[in-house]
A and B are shown apart, each in its own frame.
Chain A
């Protein structure tokens, strides 16, 4: 069997393979003979069907199988002997044979790119740091109290944070508009849930007071009839209530799950929680920065097959997500492949870079490391051992944890080898960023 490999573009290769006809014919004959011993046909005892009839019925199928196997084998032999790393699946088509006793096949495929991962010597990575101090703990307690605030009537003008019960009527050019009227409506000032003009108009309103003011709707308001218009609102305040924060005492501690109501204990528990959360988020942020550095610093041509496969995966994931939220008729939804292209490219690139690092610097996940991760995540379950066994019983479940371990390894390696600059982040900023994935 002879074959040639052509390089079409940076990553595309075309492999021309020849398969000897005689060999295929022999194989087909052998398989048919084997088949004729088991084939059932009405009018014949099993195994007594004449060869001619068996061939007539099964030959095309058997021939296809034999050819497919032969081509597959030829292809994988070639790939092996040339040490190619094929990305995605090859596209195989019949080619023109040079001689009558061979059949030619052309396989077009892509190989994984060879590339130099980002040189880390001159790269600066910003590592976010934040030490949890009493101030952060206080801030957290404060926000817990705010969530548990109760409202008490106040005999004064409304100010930010107050809850005001009002009736309101809104008119545009003297005409009421739909949704522009409500009674006994609770407005909490300073939360930005109402239009700014509305909140400004309400500032200082006292119980029993009636006021009129203009509210201009922003141009991009969701209701097109109102967008950009100015409406006149007349409101009547019934009640002004001010928030009362629960005191830091035993009751609050009990409420937060400290059984004996020890305030100091509550404080230390909150501190632990905050510290855990901060560590996790810092790690997530550091990971994101490191990955960004890797993506930015590496130049690599991406195999199209991998990107397409990744797009498929993203669309599948999106569909599954929508499905779990109760969307129906998913197949009818138009999914623009290009919508996912950029993300897919980034993910493929990252995947390639990370696996390159793993290969070069021996960063593969160690079993004990994976074990630790699994145990950690199992701790939140009621029966940790069941959970651990469940994870270990399926390779793909374990793979998820291995992926996590590998990512941590890569991030740590980069942080060790690049110039790391510690940058302090503000507590609020850190907490407001979504948990990094």
Chain B
């Protein structure tokens, strides 16, 4: 069983972001892009990625994490103004030669 701390780390990563830009940086700098919890810190994100995507035979090593706070867009709904929630995006750099295969992980 995983420890309480691991349980917490498993909540950090919300979804991978797969887009033209993310594949571009992925190919250029071996970076992967995630949507993460608003309150997650860089060390937490690093630990979470290493925990979630390491396999028995290959330990994933994160060399850097950059985060962006994305402000929710203002949206008009009829006469009312609305606001989408703010969220946090993390660019995670892996050590050269390592990769994450999203299709293979459950």
**Hey, which bits of chain A sit against chain B, CB under 8 A?**
42-45, 48, 50, 53, 56
Cross-chain contact A53 with B18 (CB below 8 angstroms): yes
14 sample A-B contacts, Cβ–Cβ < 8 Å, listed by A number: A42-B19, A43-B17, A43-B18, A43-B19, A43-B20, A43-B22, A44-B19, A44-B20, A45-B20, A48-B20, A50-B23, A53-B18, A53-B23, A56-B103
Which residues of B sit under 8 angstroms from A53, Cβ to Cβ? 18, 23
Closest chain B CB from A249 CB (angstroms) = 88
Residues of B in contact, count (CB < 8 Å): 7
Report how far A183 CA is from B17 CA in the complex, Å.
89
Q: 8 closest pairs, A vs B, by CB?
A: A43-B19, A44-B20, A50-B23, A56-B103, A43-B18, A48-B20, A44-B19, A43-B20
Q: Which chain A residue shows the least CB distance to B101? A: A56
Which residues of B sit under 8 angstroms from A44, Cβ to Cβ? 19-20
Q: Which chain A residue shows the least CB distance to B26? A: A50
Which residues of A sit under 8 angstroms from B20, Cβ to Cβ? 43-45, 48
Which residues of A sit under 8 angstroms from B22, Cβ to Cβ? 43
Report how far A18 CA is from B17 CA in the complex, Å.
44
Give how many A-B residue pairs fall within 8 Å (CB-CB). Answer: 14
Closest chain A CB from B37 CB (angstroms) = 21
Which residues of A sit under 8 angstroms from B19, Cβ to Cβ? 42-44
Interface of A: prevailing SS: loop
Interface of B: prevailing SS: loop
Report how far A56 CA is from B103 CA in the complex, Å.
8
Which residues of B sit under 8 angstroms from A56, Cβ to Cβ? 103
Q: Which chain A residue shows the least CB distance to B103? A: A56
Which residues of B sit under 8 angstroms from A50, Cβ to Cβ? 23
Q: Which chain B residue shows the least CB distance to A43? A: B19
Closest chain B CB from A48 CB (angstroms) = 6
Closest chain B CB from A418 CB (angstroms) = 72
Closest chain A CB from B41 CB (angstroms) = 26
Instruction: Bits for B10-23, please: 1 = Cβ < 8 Å to A, else 0.
Output: 00000001111011
Which residues of B sit under 8 angstroms from A48, Cβ to Cβ? 20
Closest chain A CB from B61 CB (angstroms) = 23
Closest chain B CB from A277 CB (angstroms) = 75
Which residues of B sit under 8 angstroms from A42, Cβ to Cβ? 19
Which residues of A sit under 8 angstroms from B23, Cβ to Cβ? 50, 53
Closest chain A CB from B55 CB (angstroms) = 19
Report how far A43 CA is from B20 CA in the complex, Å.
6
Q: Which chain B residue shows the least CB distance to A56? A: B103
Closest chain A CB from B56 CB (angstroms) = 23
Closest chain B CB from A57 CB (angstroms) = 9
Report how far A323 CA is from B23 CA in the complex, Å.
59
Report how far A44 CA is from B20 CA in the complex, Å.
5
Closest chain A CB from B105 CB (angstroms) = 13
Closest chain A CB from B19 CB (angstroms) = 3
Report how far A287 CA is from B19 CA in the complex, Å.
73
Report how far A50 CA is from B103 CA in the complex, Å.
14
Report how far A53 CA is from B13 CA in the complex, Å.
21
Instruction: Bits for B28-64, please: 1 = Cβ < 8 Å to A, else 0.
Output: 0000000000000000000000000000000000000
Which residues of A sit under 8 angstroms from B17, Cβ to Cβ? 43
Q: Which chain B residue shows the least CB distance to A41? A: B18
Q: Which chain A residue shows the least CB distance to B24? A: A50
Closest chain B CB from A45 CB (angstroms) = 7
Report how far A45 CA is from B103 CA in the complex, Å.
21
Q: Which chain B residue shows the least CB distance to A49? A: B20
Report how far A42 CA is from B103 CA in the complex, Å.
16
Report how far A44 CA is from B24 CA in the complex, Å.
11
Report how far A50 CA is from B18 CA in the complex, Å.
11
Closest chain A CB from B103 CB (angstroms) = 5
Closest chain B CB from A53 CB (angstroms) = 7
